[in-house]
Structure 1
Amino acid sequence: MNKKLVKYIVLIVVAGLLVYNSVYFKKLDAPTSGVENNNTDPAAFARSFWNGAFSKAIDSATTIEVFEKEFFEKGAAITISKYSHSQGVSNIADVLLKFSGRVKEITEDKIVLTVANSRTNSYVFNMGNYFGNGVRDATGLIKMGDFINTMDYNMVSTELNKIVKKDVVLAVKNKIKAGDDLIVVGCVEIKEGKLEDEILPVKITINN
């Protein structure tokens, strides 16, 4: 084997080692956040968020009366920007709102609440299965960029929805009847400047 060939082989090996090490160190130095930053999985992250930051957000939710007043007096764009949150460039936003009213109708999948002092006669709350991202997105505290991959980001939403179903919906579903007075905090989806018809309850208090 001539010296020139040996020199080329050595250069190739060295270059390969440099590439390998650069990739290795890049992985070590890559910023981590969200689920991985908390050394946990999506289910644990969701539970921690629910018990902590989201619980505080529920307690400070804006009433529907205040939201409606500003919505009609100051305009949809200003009000939505003030109270709601969205992910990236999107025409869909989510907001936490508080409703006080009387149960007009209850079925397996929904509660219809007549809300006092509201410009809308009644609101519908989902008591069945929910597949949206309202719980994850309504506070604006969880960002897509906090996660290394979109799978974990989406799984957090799924896990939060499971918590709502178990801890909120199923906990009171069989206790509510027509005529009951309720206080409900819900995630409301706003699409193209309009509140969607069905709301996800994240806290239900029976005031009988």
Structure 2
Amino acid sequence: MKKPLTYFLIALILGIVAYNSVYIKKLDDVKKEQTKATFDAKTYANDFFNSKLETVSSTAAADFLNNIKADVKGYSEENGNKLGISTDYYFIIDGNASVVEIEDEYILVTLDDDHQKMKIATDFIFGNAIREGTQMAHIGDYQNTMDYNNISVESNNIVRETILPPFIQKVKKSDSLYFKGAVRLNTKKPKFEDLRVIPLVLKIKK
């Protein structure tokens, strides 16, 4: 009788030790922790701006304006990018232009192609226009929305802290420039005169 009891006590002790040494977590929690530990949105955004931005295709700003004014819904659905079921569409446009006015929140330019006016944002740089317009990231590739949203935050920071300051210090009225940037357009309530280009590239031409 002693041996069975001894074996039972040994088995019980081993079971308790094994139980206490195993820490069970939900798979989703593990994935979130791994993603949080390994994903760096700032590095991701910097890498994109430094190595991939030049390869992002764009539409001539004059063509973009003419097409959306002719058929905003059809053109947006065919050529724009959007997230989910939103009525906001995003585009990347570029063009050569001349500076007409320098305001507190934007620079007003006229396009060289057909003299239409556009606003290039110099303040209040926020939202998802860069991320969605360039398609630099896709929500299905991320375990949590925070990482996905932080890509927009860091991209906007690059524009705000790196691209705009040297440009604002030098630009003046009548300057000729080249720009490439992201635009958000709401197809349900389009306001063409209020479109703001979030600049990705700004070059003053000498």
TM-score by length of 1: 0.75
Kept after mapping to 2: 8 A contact 1:84/1:139: no
2: distance between equivalents of 1:109 and 1:174? 14
1: distance between equivalents of 2:36 and 2:50? 18
Correspondence for 2:110? 114
Q: Specify every segment of 5 or more residues in structure 2 that has no aligned partner in the other structure, as ranges.
A: 1-11
RMSD of the TM alignment (CA)?
3.2
Correspondence for 1:203? 201
Q: 1:30-109 counterparts in 2 under 5 A?
A: 36=35, 39-57=38-56, 60-71=57-68, 75-109=71-105
Q: 1:9-24 counterparts in 2 under 5 A?
A: none
Q: 1:159-198 counterparts in 2 under 5 A?
A: 159-192=154-187, 194=190, 195=192, 196-198=194-196
TM-score by length of 2: 0.76
1: distance between equivalents of 2:77 and 2:137? 17
Name the CA shift for 1:165/1:63 in 2 (closer, same or farther; >3 Å): same
1: distance between equivalents of 2:154 and 2:81? 20
Which residue identity is paired with 1:109?
A: E
2: distance between equivalents of 1:188 and 1:82? 16
Q: Percent identity?
A: 22
2: distance between equivalents of 1:198 and 1:123? 7
Kept after mapping to 1: 8 A contact 2:185/2:195: no
Task: Compute the displacement of 1:166 (Å).
Answer: 2.1
Name the CA shift for 1:101/1:30 in 2 (closer, same or farther; >3 Å): same
Q: What is the count of residue pairs matched by the alignment?
A: 188
Name the CA shift for 1:66/1:38 in 2 (closer, same or farther; >3 Å): farther
2: distance between equivalents of 1:37 and 1:133? 21
Secondary structure of 1:85's counterpart equals coil
Task: Compute the displacement of 1:77 (Å).
Answer: 2.8
User: Please, which moves more after superposition, 77-86 or 156-165?
Assistant: 77-86
Which is greater in Rg? 2
2: distance between equivalents of 1:21 and 1:38? 19
Kept after mapping to 2: 8 A contact 1:92/1:192: yes
Task: Compute the displacement of 1:82 (Å).
Answer: 3.2
Secondary structure of 2:52's counterpart equals helix
1: distance between equivalents of 2:166 and 2:37? 29
Q: Specify every segment of 5 or more residues in structure 1 that has no aligned partner in the other structure, as ranges.
A: 1-9
Secondary structure of 2:201's counterpart equals strand
2: distance between equivalents of 1:38 and 1:80? 37
| Per-residue CA distance 1:74-127 (angstroms, 9 max, x = gap) | x32332133321111110011000122110011332100011333x73111111
Task: Compute the displacement of 1:56 (Å).
Answer: 1.5
Kept after mapping to 2: 8 A contact 1:38/1:45: no
